[in-house]
Amino acid sequence: MHEPGESPGPNAATAAIASGESTLEPMTADERVAWALETLPGNHVVSSSFGAQAAVMLHLMQRHKPGIPVVLIDTGYLFAETYRFIDRLTEQLDLNLKVFSAGVSAAWQEARHGRRWEQGLEGVEAYNQENKVGPMQQALDTLEVGTWFAGIRRSQASTRRDRSLIEAQGSRFKVHPIADWSDRDVHRYLVRHDLPYHPLWHQGYVSIGDVHTTKTIHEAASSEATRFNGLRRECGLHEMNFGQAG
């Protein structure tokens, strides 16, 4: 396609997606990561919410590119168990953790706007934009990211059912190496490599985000309703315009 580290123009990016999807589809996750690292432009990063099955993607990327920056968006409202899980995996996997947050503290935001997650869909979306989408865009720009790896899977939600293995906007690429994995695939990987689930997984938390908008599967009508009081499934990170000028 082009030399690693170079940023392709819009036409090259379109061509890369057209050929990349068919190239990646028959590959294993390991092969997809290796191909992307070799073929797509740097800098490379992997994002993680340190959710229920986060150890899979982190371990996979660390095996292929030790020291790859791991981008965490910290809203200030993660579960205490999540912060401890972050510390545990950072030490266990020797992660190069890069934490990004909104420019205004959680307490100050509440003073200004109240509890936006209790203010309907409009409030939830405004909260997510300031605390998740904005900081992620800052991370991509600050780290001058050319290729962003993420561990989203098609089986996680209807909103992810049609996600491609590779996407592009402008001259920036996004790769989902385990997009076609099932829960069984994830479990097998965790067992094979002696990796932990998030500690809240065993309490019925199948999708873990902020403490104020995450419910157990026992409290919600479906797995998709465990987040944001059922108003929406996605926080916006994987729907955002992640591109840069070509």
Sign of the Cα torsion 223, 226, 230, 233 reads negative
| Single-letter amino acid code for the residue at 44 | H
How many angstroms separate the CA atoms of 78 and 54, rounded?
15
235 catalytic residue (yes or no): yes
Helix (H, G, I), strand (E, B) or coil at 83: helix
Rounded CA Rg of the chain: 18
All residues at 6 or more sequence positions from 163 whose CB lies less than 8 Å from its CB, including other chains: 152, 154, 176, 179, 238
Residue 230, number of CB atoms within 10 A of its CB: 14
Catalytic-role residue among 56, 145, 235, 240: 235
For 137, residues 6+ apart whose C-beta sits below 8 A from its C-beta are 240, 242
CB-based contacts of 173, cutoff 8 Å, min separation 6: 13, 16, 36, 40, 41, 146, 147, 148, 166, 167
Which residues carry out catalysis? 235
